[in-house]
Amino acid sequence: MKASHVRKLIKPIESAYSEMFSGRVYRVGKGAVSVRNHSGKAEQTVIGVHGFLENHCYFTQAYEAPTTELILLTCSNYHIPVNGVTPEAPDWEVPIKHLEGTIEYDACILNQALSSLPTTDNIRVHGHSRGGAVILEAIKQWPDLYEDVEVVLEAPVLPDGRLSALVTTILEPVSHGMWPWLIRLINSAPSSAYGQTFFGKMNPRKKQLLSKLFSATKDHLTIVRNIENIMDWMARTDTSVYSHVRHGTFLIPAVDRILDRSSMLASARQSPTTMRIVETEAPSHFITLDSKEWVPGFETLPAAAQG
């Protein structure tokens, strides 16, 4: 990448979205892990991994039970979407050798959180879109850690997957130097101009979370690196990674204008029978935001099933 392009791309992007948060926030490398306070005795632990240009608030309303210990990742070089909490340095943090802004880097953040934070044995790791790839990469890096963990891959980036034809058409002519200009253009347009096309039917929560997408990262370079790395990861990652997943669900939307649904489904079908495929009626890539009814209940968790 040309130095002049990099200079344009590393210009900071101001944080534009946050919510009140009660809990602790740990800085891990260039990312973070937030642990929400829960009022009841924790019966299950959920770790949420957000998607490209999203933030951890994607999961907060889907897992509101007072007995759910909710742990939320903030991927590398993304803004932490919390108010009123000072991030702290955890004693369990280990340096990460991968390039920040990549699936590989964020997988290391996930593995550090999973190996250090849950206080229950009933664990689900739920990833949306790019977050699905982060989970699979994390499993590849440390398979034994996931032996008794349930995985939910929602509209996920998968091995042998593709971006939707619509997204590919838009991205093809965009050079690195055009990114800052393109993002300024998108940010100045009302989200209604493109929202319905990519996001499907809107509701108040979708509108709240998706209208600030292009302010999620700390700079434009992270956006470019995320996209290039997603495409590269899908091309070079083998479906054999599924053999390490013991318990889990693929949630596939009825309509997806972000990722290519047919390649997602074909990839999911390469997995062993322990992973179930649920073809939801969700009208967009954002299944959980369309309706919480598609989020599996906790009776599917390995420990619950054994009990």
- Give the rounded percent of residues in the chain with a pLDDT score beyond 70: 92
Write down the pLDDT at residue 60.
97
For residue 45, give the H/E element and its range.
strand 44-49
Q: How far apart are CA 87 and CA 23, in angstroms?
A: 10
Cα distance between residue 219 and residue 247, in whole Å: 36
Check whether 214 has a pLDDT greater than 60: yes
At residue 239, the pLDDT reads 96
Question: Hey, where are the domains in the chain?
Answer: 1-288
Mean pLDDT across 51-70: 97
Whether residue 292 is predicted with pLDDT greater than 90 in this model: the reply is yes
Q: Is the dihedral of CA 220, 221, 227, 230 positive or negative?
A: negative
Chain position carrying tokens 């977050």: 131
Nearest partner of 103 among 251, 267, 234, judged by Cα: 234
CA atoms within 13 A on the CB side of 158: 27
In this prediction, residue 303 carries a pLDDT of 64
pLDDT of residue 178: 78
What is the pLDDT averaged over residues 61-65? 96
- In this structure, is the dihedral angle defined by the CA atoms of residues 111, 98, 72 and 224, taken in order, positive or negative? negative
Q: Which of 15-29, 94-108, 187-201, 268-282 has the lowest mean pLDDT?
A: 187-201
Q: What is the pLDDT of residues 121-159, one digit of tens each?
A: 999 999 999 999 999 999 999 999 999 999 999 999 999
- Confidence label for 182 from pLDDT (cuts 50, 70 and 90): confident
Locus of tokens 């099933």? 305
Question: Per-residue confidence at 194, pLDDT binned at 50, 70, 90?
Answer: low
When pLDDT is cut at 50, 70 and 90, the band that residue 175 belongs to is confident
Q: What CATH architecture does domain 1-288 belong to?
A: 3-Layer(aba) Sandwich (3.40)
**How sure is the predictor about 272, in pLDDT bands with cuts at 50, 70 and 90?**
confident
pLDDT over threshold 80, residue 279: yes
Mean pLDDT of the chain: 91
